[in-house]
Chain A
Amino acid sequence: MSVLAYTESDKGNFKKSAFEAVSYAYEVAQQLGETVTAVAINASDASQLGTYGAAKVLHVSDDKLSSFNANAYATAIAAAATSENAKTIIVSSSADSKYLSGILAAKLNAGYVPNVVAAPESTSPFKVKRTAFSNKGFAHTEITADTKIVGVSNNAFGIVENATTAEVSDFAPSLTDGDFGTNSLEVDKVVGKATIADADVVVSAGRGLKGPENWGMIEELADILGAATACSKPVSDLGWRPHGEHVGQTGKPVASNLYIAIGISGAIQHLAGVSASKTKVVINNDPEAPFFKAADYGVVGDAFEVVPKLIEKLKEFKAQNA
Chain B
Amino acid sequence: MKILVCISNVPDTTSKINFTDGDTKFDTNGVQFVINPNDEFGLTRAMWFKEKQGASVHVATVGGAQTEPTIRKALAIGADEAIRINAEPTDGFFVARQLAEVVKNGGYDLVIAGRESIDYNGGMVPGILATLLDMNFVNTCIGLEVDGSNATAIREIDGGKETIGTTLPLVIGGQKGLVEESDLRIPNMRGIMMARKKALNVIDPIDAPSMTTDSSFEKPEAKGPVKLVDAANIDELVSLLHNEAKVI
A→B interface (CB under 8 Å): 70-71, 74, 94-96, 98-103, 105-107, 109-115, 127, 131-145, 178, 181-190, 193, 195-198, 200-201, 225, 233, 237, 243-244, 246, 249-251, 257-258, 268-269, 272, 275, 278-279, 281-282, 292-302, 305-306, 309-310, 313-314, 317, 321
User: If the complex has contacts A105-B93, A182-B164, A300-B228, are A310 and B212 also in contact, measured as CB distance less than 8 A?
Assistant: no
A298, B226: Cβ atoms closer than 8 Å = yes
Closest 3 CB pairs of A and B: A102-B127, A111-B211, A301-B231
Are A141's CB and B220's CB within 8 A? no
Partner of B124, one of A102, A183, A275, A295: A102
| Residue among B142, B156, B157, B182 making CB contact with A237, cutoff 8 Å | B182
Q: How far is the CB of A148 from chain B (nearest CB, A)?
A: 9
Q: Is the CB of A279 within 8 A of B247?
A: yes
Query: Are the C-beta atoms of B124 and A105 separated by less than 8 Å?
Result: yes
Given contacts A70-B137, A182-B165, 10 further A-B contacts (CB under 8 A): A110-B211, A139-B120, A183-B164, A243-B177, A275-B220, A292-B226, A296-B227, A297-B240, A298-B228, A306-B234
A31 to B245, CA, bound (A): 31
B37 neighbours in A (Cβ, 8 Å): 249-250
Q: Does B104 reach chain A (CB closer than 8 Å)?
A: no
CB pair B218–A138 under 8 Å, yes or no, is: yes
What is the CA–CA distance of A257 and B242 in the complex, to the nearest angstrom? 12
Given known A-B contacts A244-B161, A299-B237, A182 and B138 have beta carbons under 8 A apart: yes
Interface residues of B in 209-226 (CB under 8 A from A): 209-220, 223-224, 226
Which listed residue, B142, B214, B248, touches A132 by the CB 8 Å rule? B214
Asked if B198 is at the interface of the complex by the 8 Å CB criterion, the answer is: no
- How far is A52 from B157 in the complex, measured between Cα atoms in Å? 26
B124 lies within 8 A of A198 (CB) = no
Nearest-CB residue, chain A, relative to B161 = A188
- Known contacts A95-B158, A137-B219, A296-B227: does B17 contact A142 (CB below 8 Å)? no
Does B195 have its Cβ within 8 Å of any Cβ on chain A? no
Within 8 A of A (CB), among B48-84: none
Chain B, interface size category, equals 35 or more
The closest CB in chain B to the CB of A194 belongs to: B159
**When A182-B136, A198-B158 are in contact, do A140 and B216 touch as well, CB less than 8 Å?**
yes
A189 to B130, CA, bound (A): 27
Q: Is residue B44 contacting chain A, with contact meaning CB distance below 8 A?
A: no
B226 touches A141 (CB 8 A): no
Chain B residues near A201 (CB, 8 Å)?
A: 247-248
17 contacts between A and B (CB under 8 A): A95-B139, A96-B158, A98-B139, A102-B125, A103-B137, A131-B121, A138-B218, A145-B93, A185-B164, A187-B161, A190-B159, A244-B160, A250-B175, A292-B226, A293-B226, A294-B223, A310-B238
Give B119-178 interface residues, CB cut-off 8 Å to A. Answer: 119-128, 130-132, 134, 136-140, 142, 152-153, 155-167, 173, 175-177
Of the candidates B158, B162, B212, B241, the one whose C-beta lies within 8 Å of that of A143 is: B212
Write out the residue numbers on chain B whose beta carbons fall within 8 Å of the beta carbon of A101: 123-124, 127
Most chain A beta carbons < 10 A, residue from B124, B132, B242: B124
Q: Which residues of A contact B217 (CB under 8 A)?
A: 132, 137-140
Kindly list chain A residues whose C-beta atoms are within 8 Å of the C-beta of B93. 105, 111, 145
| B151 CB → nearest A CB, Å | 9
> What is the CB-to-nearest-CB distance from B94 to chain A, in angstroms, rounded to a whole number?
11
**Given contacts A103-B130, A299-B234, is CB(A258)–CB(B118) below 8 Å?**
no
B205 lies within 8 A of chain A by Cβ: no
The contact of B245 among A143, A198, A272, A296, by CB within 8 Å, is A296
Complex Cα distance, B139 from A295, in Å, reads 33
The answer to whether A132 and B128 touch across the interface, beta carbons within 8 angstroms, is no
Q: How far is the CA of A301 from the CA of B230 in the complex (A)?
A: 8
- B19: Cβ under 8 A from any A Cβ: yes
Q: Are A99 and B139 in contact (CB under 8 A)?
A: yes
